[in-house]
Structure formats: structure tokens, C-alpha cells
Structure 1
């Protein structure tokens, strides 16, 4: 049965979508069957994996409002071993449309349950807010992976996110765990990055991944070519880091 990991942090600009794209692609590169689910109306995971979000016939939005079955939305073999449930800006309307819907917190879970056995991993990119879309991702997931940028305000908002995970665990998904924290945008030239890592390790009673994702120009360029880093520049520091993170994620489930 596929392991479902939601990648969440309500703070924007922390490398959340970059992590979702590249972890999905690197797991697939290692021979794992992966489903990437874009739950962020910005659709950056969709375009970062090579799909044109402006010309999608069916998206996660159609699935959520019940107009399409998950199989109709599924983009198969976007890359080898990697299928995608794509999204575009239409998804931003889903919040309003779901206001009066019963059990709206479980719509995505109910759809993904139908196909989760086809995959080793399901990676969900959440929006940078604690919205109904994020709640849907968390009721679907087994665990939440939290990217944290190595900067001064790294811990700000993290306690709120952990509180949300605990609430979802108490009320909606008793099996939900925090997968762990992964540091992103690490700059070895600054003392600040090192201080942030030490500070978080001292203050956070959570699993912290050993792999740290560096600030890397190739990582920043890759999405504009619609490619994950392991395809865009497999020898870059960014690619090697996400490959190591994929190994850690795989071994954590063994």
C-alpha cells in the first residue's frame, strides 16, 4: 500500500513545491512508483513536472467537486514511474464550493484510496496556507513532511503547523504523523544557516532529516524548463541532495 506524504508549510517561499517536485522525481528515478498530487492552486508542481497547466482538460478541481473521477484526471507516466494529478488556478474556487458539502475534509482521501495500491509513494504538494485544501491533504496522508528554510524566522509558524497536524490527528486522521523536517536553501557561507539548523534541532522534538538542501542556482532554474532537478542537471548539488533525501524517505519506511 502506497505511503502518502503531504508536504506542508503555511509559510511561503520555503522550498515546499521544489521539495514536492524533486522528491517525487527522485523517488521515481530510484524505481519507485510515484503519484504526485498538486493541491496548490498555483499549480507550480504541475508545471514543474512538465505539464502545461493552462491546457489541462481535467484537474484536481474537477475531482473535488465531483465532476470527474480520479482516473480521468490522472496524467499517466509524465515521467517514467511518475503519474500526476494536476492542478491549475480553478482549484482556488473549491474552498467556496465545498462550504455546505458533507464530509468535505475527506473528498481527496476517498478518491486517492481507490488507486493508492498502485503506488509506492503518493506525494501531495499543499498550498502555503492552512486551508480546507491542506486539511484534505492531511486527512489523506500518513505523514507530513515540513520543509524549513534556513533563515531567521524559520521557526515562526511552525508551532501553528504542528498544532494543526495535532488537531487533524485528534479529530479526522488518527494515523497522521509528522514525517520530519527537512532544511532547505542552506547557505554554507553564512553562520546564520548553521545557527538556524542548530536552533531548530535544540527546540524541535521532531525527526529531522540528515539531508540538507543547499541554495542552488540549478534548482531555481529547473522549474522554468518544466523539469525536476535530476533531469535538468543530474550532477548538480541540488540533484544529489534530493537523491539523498529520497534514499532517507525510502529507508524510513522500511
Structure 2
């Protein structure tokens, strides 16, 4: 196992905070720095990461649903199935998803509470970690894109991750999802993964000319800044960022000179070098 590999879960218990965009572009930024990067689409609702990288989930035979089922049922077969599932996009590898992931989320929830669960098997909370441990020695960074629900897939992401990065929209409801996700991290640390840390808070959809964005940034820095890193470069609000999933590629590929691309490049530098 590659002990130098860092696994990052991009999480927020609120939709519309640019989780998928941030996952893709952090990965692309780290790839630009020469690191080996894998992306995991762990969002059961829309599989935005898969779509945004130009893949049609409904056409894929092997996806994260396949791998999670294999982890639960036949973990010894994971290397073969992972090799069939991985897609190569830009300078990264992608473990894609489609709507079948919703059914796996239901299965994980049922098996978590089933009194007849085989205690000799893989616990449902550790299914994704089993996949990650299988590929960890191949990468420097593994980035997990999560959906907005505090469900078993998000639990799996945090159990498998080394750190959580929280994208937060610079909006008056910003604290809503942030509080929930920080509480969830504490629960995961206590029950499953004591080594999980908060990698930072990333402000997204930021408009520096507005008092609202500046106020939200100041509030977050005041409330959490002494304990949690607030990434130095907020991601600016832009129609190009909002439309990024339509074009099938990262901002680095499509809009290399855009201010948002610079923001993600700065973020990658901070993640890699502190």
C-alpha cells in the first residue's frame, strides 16, 4: 500500500456548492503538477463528475456500482473489475458512476442495519475503503466526489478518506451545510476512522465586489479559521464554471486562463505543498 497517497473526500451536506467541479479541477490541477490522480464518482443522484468529463454513464457496463457490489460480495475479484472500470480522462483516471449507484446506496443502508449481517464479511461502511486500498499504491491522490446527502455513500467516502475538503458557496446559507458536515466528520472519526482530518474549506461562487461574499468569508474565517484551513484563493463566480459540465472537460483543458482555473491551480498548490 502506498502510504504517501492522500485520499480526499469533497463533501458538503448542501447541494449547489460546486463539489463535482471542485473535485475535477483539484484533480486536474494536481495532475498538472505531475501527480498521479484518480477520481471517484460517488454521487448517486446525477453522476455529475462522470458527465462533466464527457462520459455517458448509461452506456457504461462497469461503474462504481459494480465495484461496490464486488467489494461486498467478492473482494478478491476487485483488481480485475477495477481494471475494466477505470477510464482515462485528461491526465487522470476516473472510476465513473451512473444511476445504478442509488441502488447500491440502498443496499449499503440495509446491510448496515440487518441483524443477520455476516460479521466475517466486509462491513458496508468499509466497501469503498476496500476499493481504495486496492488501488492506493498506484496514485499520489485519490479524490472522491460526494452527493449532498448524509447517506451511506458519504459515510463510505469519509471512512475511506484521509481528509475532507468542504466547498462552501459564498452565500447567506453557507453555514447550513458546513455545520452538518463538520458534525458528520466527528461521528466518523469516533466510530470508524480516527485519522480523518479536515483538509480545508473552499469558498466557491465568490464575487469579491459584493458585501455578502466578503461577509460570509469573514464569518467563516472568524468561526473556523483558527482550526481549519480556509483556502487562500476563492473560486470566482462565472457562467463558464457553471457551464463547465456541459463541455466535457476540466477548466484547465477548456479555459486555462480563466480566473476560476487559477483559483483551482492555487488550491492544488496548497493541497500538495501546504
TM range (shorter): over 0.9
Distance 1:239 1:55 in 2: 30
2:86 to 74, 87, 90: 74
Output aligned runs, 1:82-161, within 5 Å: 82-98=92-108, 99-100=110-111, 103-161=123-181
- Between Structure 1 and Structure 2, the one with more strand by share is 1
- Between Structure 1 and Structure 2, the one with more helix by share is 2
Measure how far apart 1:160 and its partner are. Answer: 1.8
Gaps of 5+ in 1: none
Partner secondary structure for residue 213 of structure 1: coil
Partner secondary structure for residue 205 of structure 2: strand
Partner secondary structure for residue 104 of structure 2: helix
Partner secondary structure for residue 223 of structure 1: helix
In 2, are the aligned partners of 1:70 and 1:112 still within 8 Å (CA)?
Answer: no
Partner secondary structure for residue 219 of structure 2: helix
Measure how far apart 1:64 and its partner are. Answer: 0.9
In 1, are the aligned partners of 2:147 and 2:154 still within 8 Å (CA)?
Answer: yes
1:12 corresponds to: 15
Partner secondary structure for residue 15 of structure 2: coil
Partner secondary structure for residue 30 of structure 2: helix
Measure how far apart 1:95 and its partner are. Answer: 2.1
Partner secondary structure for residue 181 of structure 1: strand
In 1, are the aligned partners of 2:9 and 2:146 still within 8 Å (CA)?
Answer: yes
2:68 corresponds to: 64
Instruction: List, as ranges, runs of 4+ consecutive aligned residues in structure 1 with deviation greater than 2 Å.
Output: 67-72
Distance 1:26 1:159 in 2: 28
Measure how far apart 1:50 and its partner are. Answer: 2.0
Q: Please, what TM-score do these two structures have when normalized by structure 1?
A: 0.95
1:247 corresponds to: 269
- The Cα RMSD (Å) is 1.3
Structure of larger gyration radius: 2
Distance 1:83 1:157 in 2: 29
Gaps of 5+ in 2: 112-116
Q: How many residues get paired?
A: 250
2:114 corresponds to: none
Partner secondary structure for residue 139 of structure 1: helix
